[in-house]
Amino acid sequence: MRSDLTYMHLAAVRDYLPELDRALVPSHVRRRWNQRELSPEQRIHMDAQAALDRKAKEINLALGIKALGSAPAPLNIAALDARDHITAAVAELEAAVCDRLAIIQLEYPTTAERISRIINLLDRIAAWEDLAEHVQQEALDLRRRARLPLGDIEPVVRLTARCLYCGSVSLRAFLERGTVVCANIACRCDDQDCPCSWEQPQRHIWPFDRWPWLAANLTEQIGVAAE
């Protein structure tokens, strides 16, 4: 199950690479367009501003003043930093995997090729518990790093079943992190060693490998609706 989650993260990072390359130029960064209607006053103001701009342009042309030529758009630093970080981190991850599995690293591969190789080795990586955990965590971190400059957000799914402890309809599944969390800050259980009883209470969390147990206990309550 861990390999499945790791594969999902690594495949997503590989898919993000060409998008990050395109996003290096700010105009290519994906944005969610939120159109809104202008009020009559706003429309009048914009029309007046446009008229002033046209008049200024006519005056400048009459005086022989021309607009400056277009200059290359500055690079999107956030996308550049993310791309550089991913390139270096994937190279280090491949090196760690190859060292543990006693295999030779690829010679001058692309970052996408390194990721593909790690994916192909996931079955062998799974035999080493600490390595598998490290690769999964790195894959998750890389996925988060890749999506931020692109304006993506982590998908969250709301479960319609009630929490086993507090009975609230407050269960949320964070798909990238592979966890189900009770969003009710007042949720408590009877286990005195549970983090929910700490001085600063922690939320109840079920990791990916406990999802079958959680599903079995929620029985017929389980139902999913997009957040």
What confidence score (pLDDT) does residue 91 get? 94
Q: What is the DSSP track for 83-140?
A: HHHHHHHHHHHHHHHHHHHT-PPPSS--HHHHHHHHHHTHHHHTTSHHHHHHHHHHHH
What confidence score (pLDDT) does residue 52 get? 61
Give the residue-averaged pLDDT of 90-117.
93
Task: Select from 185, 188, 180 the least CA-distant residue to 217.
Answer: 180
- What are the residue boundaries of the structural domains of the chain, listed by start? 1-152, 156-226
Q: 103: how many CB neighbours lie within 10 A of its CB?
A: 12
pLDDT at 40 over 60: no
Q: Going edge to edge, which strands form the sheet with 179-182?
A: 205-207, 179-182, 171-174, 156-159, 224-226
Specify the higher pLDDT residue, 224 or 175.
175
What confidence score (pLDDT) does residue 209 get? 77
117-174 pLDDT, tens digit per residue, is 999 999 999 999 999 999 998 998 998 888 888 877 777 888 888 898 998 999 988 8
Rounded to two decimals, the pTM is 0.57
Give the residue-averaged pLDDT of 205-221.
79
Contact 93, 118 (CB under 8 A): yes
